[in-house]
Amino acid sequence: MYCVNCGEKLCNVQRFCSRCGFGVPEALAGSFATEPRGELPFFPIHQVISSHSTVVARFVLPAVWLAAGIAGAIWYLRIPGSERADSLGSAGVAAFVWLFLGIFILWTSSVLKKVTIDGRDLIVSNYFREARIPLNSIIRVHQDKWTRTQPVKIFFNLRTPFGRSISFIPAGYELPWKEHPIVAKLRWLSRVA
């Protein structure tokens, strides 16, 4: 039997997980001796696990960054010619920094997906198309805990329409040194699905 919260392996007599302290549901106590198998009565039905701010991070932030760059370029071009020649070096540095950060923002935001757990499947969407991926095809779940959005990356053993891995921003926020609970839940669901 495995802990519902963190995925730790439990023995039949344990009522609480020794790793996270989560209680084992009474209905399941003793029903799964060594390996998870069979139908589980508490499989989530249509639970969105990605944050609602995914839309903002994926579409709004890059658009605002692009608009700010265009506004900066228009402002620079409206400066009189003699003053513009004097500030050419600093404008070049600003344009380089804006371009570098713009590429970084586009690269990190374009990979974000909306993820929903639906029974024994993940429904993954990039807001233009959707794919249903079995939970048992998950081979690894990793979270980058030291960035602001703390994205979670899921790796699959099969090729999906989005590649062999996807990234999403989990709903809620954890302290930087703590792992988001959805990571443990996905690990556990991948074992029992």
Where residue 133 sits, what CATH number does that domain have?
2.30.29.210
Percentage of the chain surpassing pLDDT 70?
Answer: 75
Distance CA 112, CA 170 (A): 11
Predicted model pTM: 0.69
Indicate if the pLDDT at residue 132 is higher than 90.
Answer: yes
**Distance between the two ends of the chain, CA-based, in angstroms?**
13
Same domain, 82 and 118: no
The SS3 assignment for 124 reads: strand
Q: Is 30 left (phi over 0), alpha (psi -120 to 50) or beta?
A: left
Range of the domain at 170: 47-51+112-192
**pLDDT for position 56:** 92
**pLDDT for position 7:** 65
Same domain, 102 and 126: no
Answer whether residue 148 is part of any domain: yes
Same domain, 9 and 74: no
Same domain, 84 and 135: no
The SS3 assignment for 27 reads: coil
Burial of 5 (0-12, 13-18, 19+ CB in 10 A): middle
**pLDDT for position 13:** 61
Provide the pairing of β-strand 114-118 with 152-160: unpaired
**Taking CA 74 as the corner, what is the angle to CA 68 and CA 75, rounded to the nearest 5 degrees?**
85
Contact between 150 and 169 under an 8 Å Cβ cutoff? The reply is yes
Percentage of the chain surpassing pLDDT 90?
Answer: 40
Most confident of 18-32, 71-85, 108-122: 108-122
Q: State the pLDDT confidence band at 90, using cuts at 50, 70 and 90.
A: confident
Mean pLDDT across the stretch 8-21? 63
Q: In the listed set 110, 134, 155, which residue is the last one of a domain according to the structure?
A: 110
Same domain, 98 and 140: no
Same domain, 125 and 142: yes
Q: Which two tokens stand for residue 37?
A: 């198998």
Model confidence over 26-49: pLDDT tens digits?
Answer: 544 444 434 444 444 455 678 899
**pLDDT for position 39:** 43
Number of structural domains (the chain) is 3
Same domain, 80 and 126: no
Answer whether residue 116 is part of any domain: yes
**What are the residue ranges of helices labelled H in 44-180?**
54-55, 61-77, 81-86, 88-110
Answer whether residue 37 is part of any domain: no
Answer whether residue 23 is part of any domain: yes
Same domain, 143 and 157: yes
Same domain, 61 and 128: no
Indicate if the pLDDT at residue 95 is higher than 90.
Answer: no
